[in-house]
Structure 1
Amino acid sequence: MLNSILNFLTKKPLWSLLAFLVIIGSSFFQIQHFSLDASSESLSLDGDNNLELYFDTQKTFGSDESLVISYTAKKGTVLSKEQLTYLSSLRDDLLNINGVSSVISILDVSLFQSPPLSLVELASDVYTIDNGKADQNLVAKEFKTSPLYANNIISADLKTTALLIPLATDDPREIINDDSLKQLIGEIRTTMSQYQNNAKLYLGGVPMIRNDVIDFIKSDLIIFSLAVVLAMSLMLSLFFHKVRWVLMPIAISIIGALFMTGLISSIGWKVTVISANFFSLLLVMTLSVIIHLVVRYREILNQQTGMSNDEITRRTLNEMLRPCLYTVVTTIAAFASLTTSHVQPVIDFGLMMSIGVTVAFILSFVSFALVMTLFPTSQTSHKTEKFYVLQKLAIATDKGGKNIILGIALVSAIAIFGLSKISVENSFINYFKKDTEIYQGLNFIDKELGGTIPLEIVFNDLASAYWADSSLREDFHDVHQYLDSIPSIGKVLSIDTFIQVLKESNDGKTPNGFLLMLGKNNMPEFAKSQVLKPHISDETDQIRIVARIKETTTDLDRNQLIIDVKKELVERFYFSEDEFYFTGTFSLYNNLLQSLFSSQVKTIFTVFIIIFMLFLIVFRSISIALIAVIPNIIPSLIILGLMGLARIPLDIMTITIAAIAIGIGIDNAIHYISRFKSELLVDSDFEASMYRAHNSIGVSMFYTAATVAIGFLVLILSNFIPSIYFGIFMAIAMLSAVFVNLTLLPKLLIFFKPEMN
């Protein structure tokens, strides 16, 4: 059927071109709906209920969807008259921005010790710097010692303060859309820039991280896709020396990637951090097929006389159809293996790329047939292209096979050692270069204002008991103190913070009975919203503790921290495990990280099983299937080993590289074995067949690997660290895959001489 379609394309090129343009155009029209996603859902695990717990907690106690501006005075403290004037002006300018409904700062927060208020006074009025009721002579002391504000909205040296801009809605799932958030953050940053002469300002907060990650992804998609195209164009120019052999592959690759972008957009599939490089990958997948077609076309053109352009085109398509189809199937298997992961965005990426590879295959053959029919090439001189590198690899494989095997075995052993060192521990701040604004802002807020990423502990069915049971209140006080003592935890806020505020207003005595209920029930609403409502809910009978984690802590081990805290809550404070749960951004991210290693093992195991079975079907030989699969374990092994040796942790992007490397390697193996079989039919000489295969299909493999590797290396210029690692390791994957398939694979074929009928 496929042969019939290809024959039709070459016989009816104009009608085929019209249909082609209509299909492509309809997809391009959908690109306007393309969108990116860096929300909490993009950190979710398939079947994990922690995301629902997170949303429920946010709805009960309030959302963490807030932007944070750190403000550091260049002269004196932030409590000086001059700086308070600047702060007031900044706050008012922020409030004038569309989308900013409130700003919480040291000007607005309730003060309880400036002057010291009794419990009765505490319940009757609100004292703030802004309303003029606070005693300015006592404000500094309160901010330094307050259990609520110290190391939270103001630093210990009083030189830095935070302004909070809440973005929460009634439903935490209804977050501000990406375009509105981008505009809002842009206006906030413009406003901040007007005060840089008076203070040093940084923007932070989970929404800012999400916005800047999306900006980095967009930058990589646009700028680096163009850079990849340029790099690949230069490589094709170097290899083919003709404009048509550069323009055609590049144009078809771009059309394929844009077509898939439109297809993704039409079905509402959002691109996440994990799938951010799908465009570059589709360029590569399409380019790989086209290069194989071009090289084979040139071979036939140089070897045959008297054949018309249409005949050469049809022969090229017919000869390359089967091996390219096999490579598509195995590549789909590699990407489909990602669906065994527990990480939902990884699953989506696997499905997305499976469809993309299919599109790349169909589009490559259709486009090549149309272009070569409508724009036939001129006849060239009959010469065989020879390459020094490929000739050397062929000689080394033939004469020095044992050394190659020993060398690869040594590299594999080192890689296995490195694999034993691999970890999954990472942090948001390490996703960005140190000279970027986002890194500097996160680093500063983390160190000066009590941490950045919240870890929440929610206790069920204890809120009502808390007010009646003094011993339970003591337990929560001890838990609060314990969390506060952990080096990697910055500011801790809980219902005990409220108790400590009341204690200060009760001559240092912990309130009980009537005084406790007086403080609870009669405190002004504004003060309640700051110290009470975020931490206890009578409606759901829950208590929440929020501990902000210092992401900059050396050797921070998220999972171990949660394990240790859980153990202490059970063994030291005698809470049962079903009485509490962990949630918050920190917990969501930790769950994701912990799933990565098991997901990596599962995807690699799955892809090799699937590909081995496919090889059995394709080549109908267990020996050939084993010979093809074994060398292609090495590229993924090298990548994971290098990551372990370099202490580069698995993350949400690098987890996909091993499966992609296997798919690329298997593609090379299929092309090489298919051509080797054809050459073996000539004289049944395994060594001679190897030399001829190197100088034919080896050319395509070499061109593809070199071109794509250079293209991916462009990503090292990104500001997003996972993209840099992705580019580096994809380049290594391409080069190592072509090396093992031009050395170890043919050596195994020569040594074992499997039946290849």
Structure 2
Amino acid sequence: MKRLYDSVLNKSGVSIALLLLVIGFFIAQIPHFQLDASSDSLVLEGDNNLHYYQSIKKNYGSDDYLVISYQVKDNLLAPAQINHLANFRRDLQAIDQVKSVTTILDVPLFQSPPLSLIDLAAKDISIDNGNADLVLANEEFKSSPLYADNLVSKDGKTSAILVALKGNKTFENRRQKRNTMRVKKANNELSKEALAKLSAIEKQVLKDTTTQNALQDKTIAQIRTTIDKYRDNASLFLGGLPMITTDIIGYISSDLIIFSLAVIGLMTLILAIIFKGIRWVLMPIGISITGALMMTGVLGFLGWKVTIISSNFFSLLLVMTLSVMIHLVVRYRELAQNNPDLAYRTLIQNTLEQMLKPCLFTTLTTIVAFGSLLISGIRPVIDFGWMMSIGVTIALILSFVAFPMIMSFLPKPKIPQFKTELGFTHGLAKFTEKFGNHLLVVLILFIGASAVGINKLSVENRFIDYFKENTEINQGLTLIDKKLGGTIPLEIIFDGLAEDYWYDEDLRADMHKIHQYLNALDETGKVLSIDTLMQILTQANGNQAPNGFLLNVIKTQIPDSAKAYVLDPYLSEDNGQIRMVIRIRETNKNLKRAALIEKIETYISKDIGFQEGSFHTTGMLVLYNNMLQSLFASQIKTIVVVFAMIFLMFLFIFKSFSLSILALIPNILPSIFILGIMGLMNIPLDLMTITISAIAIGIGVDNAIHYIHRFKAEFAKDHDYLATMYRSHNSIGLAMFYTSITVTLGFLILALSNFIPSIYFGVFTAIAMISALLANLTLLPKLILMVKPKI
């Protein structure tokens, strides 16, 4: 190591040139950096239901369409309003990537005027065709089993416009193949050759997604421009999964830029206040920014996309690199003050040699903490674990290489005399000495309260709550959810019954019961199924359900325009399937997805009598629920694994079983407190908050390693535990305080985000950082004073 630093310091020009070359290479990759907010980030990669869902989408079409809510003050079917809507539809259809637009103008009508069973086959009534009675149509839209609370609100003032976007068959087939292979991979059914093929397909799908996202972003921008032209006669909101995806990417991009700049500004101010010197501000900030930019380039080079979960990686790397730099700067200044006559290069080298071990160990424990995310089973969480593990490695290497290079190019700084004793850390030492026993009692009470909170912890969150109420996503989702029958789809597929349906009266009765049961649930909005067609036919048959003979005649004579709405999406004789589509109301605050799915499945199997395996629940609601439910198991596995690994590392670092146990105890508390607070405040676990425990452990353990490493060095002077505690608080405690405050304030900036998960992430991580600092400067020394382990 000494030879390495001699080489760096003696040949600093060559070293800097090589370093700049490496930095330049990775920064040049930044244009390849990409963001992703697709539905892939909301599901379990190895979920068997995902493969089934993809096959259903292939049979019945995608539910990834845009929804525009069209709300009027007076009559939706007034001539001027119809003309306005027709012009709006025409302009939407003119957009290149729009495949089709469905409105109240083009859907088939059955009661405007009322049609008999014979008329249903012979007449094709719609507003577009000019043969609809508008007064009756207004009533039909509000009361129809097909359109009410679906295409038109029950008050008749809000209508849905469905915009389907053009897809790419090649992209879709490749994605389907990837999903099928992922399921096989999760079941260990792929050979080495197949795994290599899967890796190649995944890279191609990433490229496909980038191309598709670019087209989608452009299309949605054009749709929004078109919407703005028609706000004069209607209140318009855009919704749907493609829009949500696009807007989330916008939030991520905005947060990535704005909050990274805010963190840089705040860190600059804090360093200026702490160190009062340009060198001690610009060097740490410059190295931190360079490290984060290099990692951005690494992501671009590897083709890894940043998702909702990993969107704060840049800010995280800024504060983590800065943490290493602050420790280096504080140690250099301490050595320079205590040894003012020491040669400049010797001071630099001593700083590096004394800080290498603790910084290396803290980096390794941080990697272990983030590495624990690899067992989550959720692809974006796994990727985040890899990103941060690579990122903190870059932060360590860059800090220990760039620090001596830059210092060697600058003249030896004059270090003014400064007090190493900080009132805050010295006060914590006095508090620990005098009130340590009281502290233990208080902590036990806190742990008890946290246990109550953890017991209340859930994963039941509402997607609509991810966005502030003043955002278009929240307003659009709320309007669609309340007025137009719900947002998130749940599907029920009955296998092998399609042909029987037309002949089996008991089967039709069962389908009707299930339809009515689903419709009566508080959590459900609009329910659509083959029974919807039966209700329409019953109305046309004088309110008498047609028999099997009539049904078989009618089904062959229904016009294609009507089949597309009332038959094809809900019954497929080619696949033998009957399909029900239920939209779930996200605005229902009592929504519990897992309980709802179980209740529905129990009713169908126990109350109606369908055998398990003869029907399946699927759809985005099920996939999202499967991912959420896995968070519990993932969180437990993550915490257990990370603490086990860190304990083993402590044994390796400290060579003492008792000291390792003592170091571990304070760092369990931040995770317990955070999860307890979330439970007590009814804040559910989600894709972002699940990572807080790993981050809190990873950064919190750094404090323990730095503190014990310094405690051991100070203890060797007089073997006085109490005096050593005070000296440690007044030396390494200083760096711990500066880094923790900087990190905490950096995370708190995220509280200004428009994206609620980012706010929770920032606030709770900040709380975890403060908890870790206090625990390692109070509980840890108190335990050492009590146990007096062999050091």
**Do these two structures clear the TM 0.5 threshold for a shared fold by scoring above it?**
yes
1:524 is matched with 559
**Amino acid in the other structure paired with 2:63:** D
**Amino acid in the other structure paired with 1:119:** L
Equivalent residue for 1:105, pick from 97, 103, 112 = 103
> Using the alignment, how far apart are the partners of 1:217 and 1:229 within structure 2?
18
Equivalent residue for 1:458, pick from 493, 506, 512 = 493
2:6 is matched with 7
> Using the alignment, how far apart are the partners of 1:579 and 1:753 within structure 2?
65
Equivalent residue for 1:152, pick from 135, 150, 161 = 150
Equivalent residue for 2:446, pick from 397, 411, 419 = 411
Equivalent residue for 2:214, pick from 179, 195, 198 = 179
Q: Offset at 1:454?
A: 0.5
Equivalent residue for 1:635, pick from 645, 670, 678 = 670
**Amino acid in the other structure paired with 1:353:** M
1:166 is matched with 164
Q: Offset at 1:282?
A: 0.9
- Secondary structure (helix, strand or coil) at the match of 1:70 reads strand
Matches within 5 A, 1:567-646: 567-646=602-681
2:574 is matched with 539
- Secondary structure (helix, strand or coil) at the match of 1:572 reads helix
- Secondary structure (helix, strand or coil) at the match of 1:420 reads helix
1:393 is matched with 428
> Using the alignment, how far apart are the partners of 1:447 and 1:683 within structure 2?
72
- Secondary structure (helix, strand or coil) at the match of 2:62 reads coil
Indicate yes or no: 2:402 matched with 1:360: no
For residues 48-71 of structure 1, give each alpha carbon's deviation from its aligned partner in whole angstroms, at most 9, with x where no partner exists. Answer: 112111111111111101100001
1:86 is matched with 84
2:135 is matched with 137
- Secondary structure (helix, strand or coil) at the match of 2:608 reads coil
> Using the alignment, how far apart are the partners of 1:168 and 1:608 within structure 2?
49
Indicate yes or no: 2:279 matched with 1:244: yes
Q: Offset at 1:178?
A: 2.2
- Secondary structure (helix, strand or coil) at the match of 1:445 reads helix
1:38 is matched with 37
How big is the alpha-carbon RMSD for the aligned residues of Structure 1 and Structure 2?
Answer: 1.5
1:448 is matched with 483
2:541 is matched with 506
State TM-score, norm by structure 2: 0.93
> Using the alignment, how far apart are the partners of 1:708 and 1:184 within structure 2?
40
- Secondary structure (helix, strand or coil) at the match of 1:282 reads helix
> Using the alignment, how far apart are the partners of 1:134 and 1:383 within structure 2?
87
- Secondary structure (helix, strand or coil) at the match of 1:547 reads strand
- Secondary structure (helix, strand or coil) at the match of 1:314 reads helix
- Secondary structure (helix, strand or coil) at the match of 1:554 reads coil
> Using the alignment, how far apart are the partners of 1:397 and 1:611 within structure 2?
25
| Greater mean deviation of Cα atoms: 381-390 or 439-448 | 381-390
2:523 is matched with 488
For residues 281-317 of structure 1, give each alpha carbon's deviation from its aligned partner in whole angstroms, at most 9, with x where no partner exists. Answer: 1111111111111110111111113322221111111
> Using the alignment, how far apart are the partners of 1:518 and 1:608 within structure 2?
68
State whether residues 97 and 166 of structure 2, in contact with CA within 8 Å, keep that contact through their aligned partners in structure 1: no
1:66 is matched with 65
> Using the alignment, how far apart are the partners of 1:359 and 1:722 within structure 2?
27
For residues 238-275 of structure 1, give each alpha carbon's deviation from its aligned partner in whole angstroms, at most 9, with x where no partner exists. Answer: 11111221111111111111111111121111111111
Q: Offset at 1:408?
A: 2.2
Indicate yes or no: 2:252 matched with 1:217: yes
1:422 is matched with 457
Equivalent residue for 1:342, pick from 361, 371, 377 = 377
> Using the alignment, how far apart are the partners of 1:599 and 1:376 within structure 2?
51
- Secondary structure (helix, strand or coil) at the match of 1:348 reads helix
**Amino acid in the other structure paired with 1:139:** A
Q: Offset at 1:671?
A: 0.4
| Greater mean deviation of Cα atoms: 271-280 or 672-681 | 271-280
| Greater mean deviation of Cα atoms: 485-494 or 518-527 | 518-527
Equivalent residue for 1:203, pick from 238, 250, 264 = 238
Matches within 5 A, 1:123-134: 123-134=121-132
> Using the alignment, how far apart are the partners of 1:634 and 1:137 within structure 2?
67
State whether residues 66 and 168 of structure 1, in contact with CA within 8 Å, keep that contact through their aligned partners in structure 2: no
Q: Offset at 1:46?
A: 4.0
State whether residues 505 and 548 of structure 2, in contact with CA within 8 Å, keep that contact through their aligned partners in structure 1: no
Classify 1:566/1:168 alpha carbon distance in 2 versus 1 (closer, same or farther; 3 Å): farther
**Amino acid in the other structure paired with 1:44:** V
2:290 is matched with 255
For residues 639-680 of structure 1, give each alpha carbon's deviation from its aligned partner in whole angstroms, at most 9, with x where no partner exists. Answer: 111111111111110011011111111110000000000001
Q: Offset at 1:407?
A: 2.3
State whether residues 100 and 165 of structure 1, in contact with CA within 8 Å, keep that contact through their aligned partners in structure 2: yes
1:29 is matched with 28
Runs of 4+ aligned structure 1 residues displaced above 4 Å come to 172-176
Q: Offset at 1:384?
A: 4.0
- Secondary structure (helix, strand or coil) at the match of 1:102 reads strand
Q: Offset at 1:383?
A: 4.2
| Greater mean deviation of Cα atoms: 520-529 or 194-203 | 520-529
2:46 is matched with 47
State TM-score, norm by structure 1: 0.97
**Amino acid in the other structure paired with 2:743:** V
- Secondary structure (helix, strand or coil) at the match of 1:578 reads coil
- Secondary structure (helix, strand or coil) at the match of 1:165 reads strand
Gapped runs of 5+ residues in structure 1? Answer: none
**Amino acid in the other structure paired with 2:95:** I
> Using the alignment, how far apart are the partners of 2:412 and 2:569 within structure 1?
72
1:118 is matched with 116
| Greater mean deviation of Cα atoms: 171-180 or 135-144 | 171-180
2:765 is matched with 730
**Amino acid in the other structure paired with 1:35:** Q
State whether residues 454 and 585 of structure 1, in contact with CA within 8 Å, keep that contact through their aligned partners in structure 2: yes
Q: Offset at 1:409?
A: 2.2
**Amino acid in the other structure paired with 2:46:** G
State whether residues 504 and 548 of structure 2, in contact with CA within 8 Å, keep that contact through their aligned partners in structure 1: no
Matches within 5 A, 1:693-732: 693-732=728-767
- Secondary structure (helix, strand or coil) at the match of 1:424 reads coil
State whether residues 502 and 519 of structure 1, in contact with CA within 8 Å, keep that contact through their aligned partners in structure 2: no
State whether residues 751 and 762 of structure 2, in contact with CA within 8 Å, keep that contact through their aligned partners in structure 1: yes
Q: Offset at 1:381?
A: 3.1
State whether residues 99 and 166 of structure 2, in contact with CA within 8 Å, keep that contact through their aligned partners in structure 1: no
Q: Offset at 1:119?
A: 3.2
Gapped runs of 5+ residues in structure 2? Answer: 176-207
> Using the alignment, how far apart are the partners of 2:415 and 2:306 within structure 1?
45
> Using the alignment, how far apart are the partners of 2:453 and 2:406 within structure 1?
47
State whether residues 65 and 168 of structure 1, in contact with CA within 8 Å, keep that contact through their aligned partners in structure 2: no
**Amino acid in the other structure paired with 1:230:** G
> Using the alignment, how far apart are the partners of 2:108 and 2:790 within structure 1?
84
Q: Offset at 1:686?
A: 1.1
> Using the alignment, how far apart are the partners of 1:632 and 1:222 within structure 2?
32
| Greater mean deviation of Cα atoms: 308-317 or 424-433 | 308-317
**Amino acid in the other structure paired with 1:593:** L
> Using the alignment, how far apart are the partners of 2:2 and 2:703 within structure 1?
23
Equivalent residue for 2:270, pick from 225, 235, 252 = 235
- Secondary structure (helix, strand or coil) at the match of 2:507 reads helix
Q: Offset at 1:127?
A: 1.7
**Amino acid in the other structure paired with 1:64:** D
For residues 9-66 of structure 1, give each alpha carbon's deviation from its aligned partner in whole angstroms, at most 9, with x where no partner exists. Answer: 2221111111111111111111111112222211222421121111111111111011
- Secondary structure (helix, strand or coil) at the match of 2:397 reads helix
**Amino acid in the other structure paired with 2:250:** D
> Using the alignment, how far apart are the partners of 1:634 and 1:476 within structure 2?
53
- Secondary structure (helix, strand or coil) at the match of 2:671 reads helix
